[in-house]
Chains A and B, each alone.
Chain A
Amino acid sequence: MCLAVPGQVVERWADRAVVDFQGNRAEVSLQLTPEAMERDWVLVHAGFAITRIEERDALETWAYLRQIPAAEVDDAAGMPATDEVPHDAKR
C-alpha cells in the first residue's frame, strides 16, 4: 500500500495535473510537489505526487512495474476504483 508509480506531468493547472502513466492518464494532486512542472516526472502515491524524479529513473522503474499486476499499479497511482464515482480526470 506504499507503492508509488512514476508518471509524467502532461498538463498542470494550479496544484492539479494530468499525469501520464505509460499511456494511461489520471488526475493527480501536485500539492506535495509544487515544484513539479509540465513534462517533469513524478512518483505518485494514492493520487498525490510525492516527489520529482529523473526521467531515466522513472523509466527504469517502469521496466520493473510492467512485470507486476496492472491492478496494483493502478491502485497505487490512484486510478479511480470501479465502484468509485470517477473524478473529473479527463477535462
Chain B
Amino acid sequence: MTRNASPAAKAGTQRRGAEMAPVASGAVSPAFAAELAGVHDLAARIGRQIQLMEVCGTHTVSIFRSGLRSLLPPNVRLVSGPGCPVCVTAQRHIDAAIRLGTIPDTLIATYGDMVRVPGAMGSLQEQRGRGADVRVVTSARAALHLAGLFPDRHVVFLGVGFETTAPATAAVVLEARRLGIGNFTVLAAHKLVVPAMLALLAGGRVRLDGFLCPGHVSIITGADAYRPVVERFRMPCVVAGFEPLGILRALSALLRQVQAGAARLENEYSVAVSASGNQVARRLIEEVFETAAAPWRALGEIPESGLRFRPAFRSFDALERFGIVLGEDEDHAGCRCGEVICGTVLPTECRLFGSVCTPLRPLGPCMVSSEGTCSAWYKYGTPPAARAPALEAV
C-alpha cells in the first residue's frame, strides 16, 4: 500500500526505551478518558494486585503501541500469554521445514515472520542463502498458486497460525484436491488457543485474575469457545477487538468481574464475534483436520491443541509425503521465551534481551515476530510500572 505510517507510528518503531504517546494520534478521546477513569476507579476499589493476561499478539502490539500499559493503575498488570503463532511454533517444525527445503526441487512457502525464526540448523532465511527456494506469501491461496506456476517443483506450505488462519489452509487443501494438484503439501503446525489457555491454568505457574480473549480468533471459534476456561477454572474471560478503546472496555469488564468475585464470559467485540463463530470456517477445519497433541515452543506437548490431517487428507501432509520425522527441540540456552509466553517472566528479565538478542538478530522466536512479546518490549520500551521484576508467579 502507498499509505504512509503516521509520524507517531514511525517514531514508535525507531525509538527504543521511549513509551509512545498515549493513543498514538496524540489526543485521547473523551470516550477513552471516561473508560480509563472507570478502570482507575475499579482498580482502587479492588485494592489488591490484579494480573490479567492477553493471549493475542495483536492485542500485545496494540497495548504497547497505544501506550495503554503506562496509563493503567499501578495495581493492574497486563502479561502476554502464548498468543503469537510465530513464537509458539516449535523448533522441530522449523527444523522440518528446513529439511524439506533441502530436498531437490522443493519450494517452501510461508508467512513472513517464519523465515527468521531460528531452528537448530539456522533459519529458513539462512537456508535461502544456501540455495533453498523459500518464498514469503501473505495467503495460503498464494502458496497453492505457486504450485500451479511451477508444476515441476513441489510446493510445501508452512501452515502455522491459530484458528484465524487454519480455515484458509483447509480451504486451499480442499481446492488442491478438487483441482487434482499433486505438487502441493502442507507442513501442518496450526495451534488452537483455548487448549493452551487451559494448559497454562492447569500448570498453575502463573496467577491470573482474568483473560483478555483474542478478537479475530474468536470470529472463527465463537465466544462460547472460552466457556471451559470460565467454568473449569472460574476465570473471567472477555473477548475484545484490537483497538485501544475496545481493549480498555474489555479490561473494565474484567475488573468489574474481579470486583464482584464473578467469573463470566463477556463479549466486548460483538460487532464481529458471535457466540458460535463462523460455521463455514469451522466446518472446513473439521473436514480437513482433527485435533491432536501438538508441541508448543518451550511449553512442550499440549493435548488436543493442534491440528493434524484427517486420514483422507494424509497425501497433503508434507511430513508423510517426504518421510520426515519430527525431531527434538534444542532451544537456545539462555532464551527464556518459554517463560515469557507463560507470563511468568518479563522480557527484560532475560539476560540476552536487548544486548545479544535484538529484532535484527533474534535468538528466540519472541524477538522475531513483530507480535512477539520481546520484540514489542524492545520496540516500545519498558514503562516503569511494568518494569518491577516481582511478577506474580506462584
Binding site for B on A (CB under 8 A): 1-4, 21-24, 29, 31-34, 43, 45-48, 50-51, 53-54, 57, 60-61, 64, 66-70, 72-75, 77-85, 87
Contact = CB atoms under 8 A, between A and B. Distances in A.
Contacts of A75: 111-112, 138
Given A2-B57, A69-B9, A85 B2 contact: no
B272 A46 contact: no
A4 B164 CA distance: 9
Interface of B: 1-6, 8-10, 13, 24-25, 56-58, 61, 65, 83-86, 111-113, 135-142, 145-146, 149, 160-162, 164-165, 167-168, 171, 214, 216-217, 219-220, 241-244, 271-273, 278, 280-281, 284, 369-371
A24 B3 CA distance: 9
A29 B138 contact: no
Given A60-B243, A64-B243, 4 more contacts: A24-B3, A45-B165, A46-B138, A66-B3
Nearest to A3: B58
Given A43-B219, A50-B281, A75-B112, A32 B167 contact: yes
A77 B142 CA distance: 13
A23 B3 contact: yes
Contacts of A32: 167, 171, 278, 280-281, 284
A31 B144 CA distance: 15
Contacts of A46: 111, 138-140, 161, 164-165, 168
Nearest to A15: B171
Contacts of B271: 53-54, 57
Given A2-B216, A4-B219, A32-B171, A69 B5 contact: yes
A70 B241 CA distance: 19
Contacts of A29: 141, 168, 171
Nearest to B65: A68
A50 B137 contact: no
A17 B324 CA distance: 38
A1 B86 contact: yes
B1 A73 contact: yes
Contacts of A3: 58, 216, 242
13 contacts: A1-B84, A2-B85, A2-B162, A4-B164, A33-B280, A46-B111, A46-B161, A48-B141, A50-B281, A64-B243, A68-B65, A77-B138, A84-B136
B224 to A, nearest CB: 16
Contacts of B8: 67
A50 B219 contact: yes
A84 B135 contact: yes
B278 A47 contact: no
A84 B216 contact: no
A75 B111 CA distance: 9
B219 to A, nearest CB: 5
A50 B278 contact: yes
B141 A47 contact: yes
A24 B271 CA distance: 24
